[in-house]
Amino acid sequence: MHKTMIYPVVLALGLSACAKQQPASAPAPEEPTAAEADAFIAGVNDDYRRLLPYLNAAQWAQATYITDDTQMLAARANEQWLEYLSRKVQEAKRFNAVEASPDTERALLALKLSTANPAPSDPDRRAELAKLLSKMEANYGAGKWCRPDGACLSLPEIEKIINDPAQPPAARAEAWAGWHATARPIRADYQRFVTLANEGARELGFANLGEMWRAGYDMSPAEFEAEVERLWTQVKPLYEALHCHVRAKLNARYGDAVVPKDGLIPAHLLGNMWAQQWSNIYPLVEPYPGVGSLDVTSALKQQRAAEYQRLLAEFKGKPSARDLAELEHRADAAIAVKMTKMAEDFYTSLGFPKLPDTFWERSLLLKPRDREVVCHASAWDMNMQGDVRIKQCIEPDEDQLTTIHHELGHIYYYLMYNPLPPLFQAGAHDGFHEAIGDTVTLSLTPAHLHKIGLVPAQKTDPKAVINAQMKWALDKIVFLPWGKLVDQWRWKVFAGEIPPERYNASWWALRAQYQGVSPPLARSEEDFDPGAKYHIPGNTPYTRYFLAFILQFQFQKALCDAAGFAGPLHECDIYGNREAGRRFMDMLAQGASRPWPETLEKLTGTREMDGAALIEYFSPLMDYLAEQNKGLSCGWQADAAS
């Protein structure tokens, strides 16, 4: 995830208190000119460069130091930034009929769509919206599940239970329910947020906030919705085949009473709090046990343990309990930095620059021992001029290593387009931004993981290929329906098709329809299970991730072609190829300055998003699944009404 568009802060905007009243006989104002439109956009770009560093600093403080004070400062900051943005959008309407240059027209639209949280023009409602946004995000960051034994666990600690397939189903269900209960307090807040954000969207000329979100793709909202459906239809058979196979494996392990042979899979058994990716249950579904070791997590944990032993050996005297705790913390910090440098090395091997010194000085790579933070990983462009950071509570496991590669994709996108005017400092569309780092992760092949010392050398073995593909599929294919349904729910909420009294029921209806999963426990409208996922209280549009999981394979195929790779797509590793890197950087440098089909064509040679490369990548696994699923009752019945 990357953090863009809204960056709250405390600042003085210097609004004029009043304006001169014109006499009744004053002549009508002259029509604005193209030159005035150019000057207006230049002024907004100047404002962005001047204000955003302060805006970002306030939100960074709130995310990395959760207190009542930082929440208050962030809320006030957000209010003032939303006021500024709303004012500039209103001023921009003067130029609606002006025949401006293509760049200025594009910048005017970008300004209009530059926030996921359009604020009402009424000052009281704008202030209320800002407070709600800060409150909901802080609730997520500080959420804890307090068990009957008195222990209170944060999300990363709860995830260790959910993610572990060795834990009994009852323990995982209890942990799942504990985390989801943390979202209940914001149910009413979210309902009010929807009202206020829709009001802001209507003031900008959109029917609701969902329509506004769908307007940022160089096509009409209706055309974009159809495009998302086309892509889902293209890749849906892959998910259905994988769901069928995994359900059969889980049924064999847990029995009909826990996992039905032909129904929905209980969400808490899939190795992820939201059942959005299932790679943690790979040991339960590994096609050929023991063929081609891919235990990256164990390798990282061993490196962390070795660092601790090194620190302990260097310690002079007998360490106290406090000393030992400090050494543990230093070992954690060392492996977090080492994993981040592994990811940096991949990018620099392609010709990208080294990360600036300030990245290492100012990023948060480890959960602090002395305060609450929002551990959800994110990448930050603090000043649009090179102060880039990530915020991630890194632990030594494979998922975290993959996430670092993903976050650095955002960081390098920032650095590549920083020379552009601020209004064009964004992805070609938001799916591009999410796809960059994920494209790089596709080169983390077994051969590459061996190259960097994380797995043993792999022999050429078709069974090892299937194992490797299964592991990736539990991440890449499994995500697709989740990536689509989160905004399907919100679009319906914003449009009023899902009323507040059906928030939770409709959420689970969509999850049944798209994912084929069910909650582990009975749910009611007292619950607010959507709010247990960061992007709902954080109000981050989510379809970008669905698009990214399509685009990353399309990008990878183009980069592999540029690198001259002639083998199967799933074996391609672009590490060290400067031609692929040059093509990659050229695309990133375009930012949002051109319509995304042009930017896509620059790298891939086509102007259309396409799932064909994803299907090609997983063709060995799909052949395997077709054989495994013979005789099984695939698919599921779900009430799709929402």
- Indicate which residue of 243, 268, 535, 570 is catalytic: 535
Asked whether the beta carbons of 145 and 205 are under 8 A apart, the reply is no
Does the annotation count 407 as an active-site position? yes
pTM of the model: 0.86
- Determine what percent of the chain is predicted with pLDDT higher than 70: 95
Q: What is the pLDDT of residue 639?
A: 64
Q: How confident is residue 79, by pLDDT bands cut at 50, 70 and 90?
A: confident
In this predicted structure, the answer to whether residue 2 has a pLDDT above a threshold of 80 is no
In this predicted structure, the answer to whether residue 271 has a pLDDT above a threshold of 60 is yes
Average pLDDT over residues 168-184: 97
In this predicted structure, the answer to whether residue 1 has a pLDDT above a threshold of 80 is no
The residue with tokens 């950087």 is: 585
The reply to whether 406 sits in an annotated binding site is: yes
In this predicted structure, the answer to whether residue 6 has a pLDDT above a threshold of 60 is no
In this predicted structure, the answer to whether residue 539 has a pLDDT above a threshold of 70 is yes
Q: How confident is residue 383, by pLDDT bands cut at 50, 70 and 90?
A: very high
Q: How confident is residue 640, by pLDDT bands cut at 50, 70 and 90?
A: very low
Q: What is the DSSP string of 563-588?
A: TT--S-GGG---TT-HHHHHHHHHHH
The reply to whether 413 sits in an annotated binding site is: no
CA distance 532 to 558: 37
Q: How confident is residue 232, by pLDDT bands cut at 50, 70 and 90?
A: very high
In this predicted structure, the answer to whether residue 21 has a pLDDT above a threshold of 50 is no
The reply to whether 583 sits in an annotated binding site is: no
- Indicate which residue of 407, 429, 433, 570 is catalytic: 407
**Cα angle, residue 589 at apex, residues 586 and 590 outer, rounded to 5°:** 100
Q: What is the pLDDT of residue 40?
A: 97
The reply to whether 405 sits in an annotated binding site is: no
Q: What is the pLDDT of residue 485?
A: 97
Asked whether the beta carbons of 45 and 421 are under 8 A apart, the reply is yes
Q: What is the pLDDT of residue 204?
A: 85
Does the annotation count 535 as an active-site position? yes
Average pLDDT over residues 470-491: 96
Average pLDDT over residues 555-582: 96
Q: Is 641 exposed, middle or buried (0-12, 13-18, 19+ CB in 10 A)?
A: exposed
In this predicted structure, the answer to whether residue 72 has a pLDDT above a threshold of 80 is yes
- Residues 121-170 have pLDDT tens digits of 899 998 999 899 999 999 998 999 999 888 999 999 999 999 999 999 99
The reply to whether 329 sits in an annotated binding site is: no
The residue with tokens 């596709």 is: 442
Q: How confident is residue 29, by pLDDT bands cut at 50, 70 and 90?
A: low
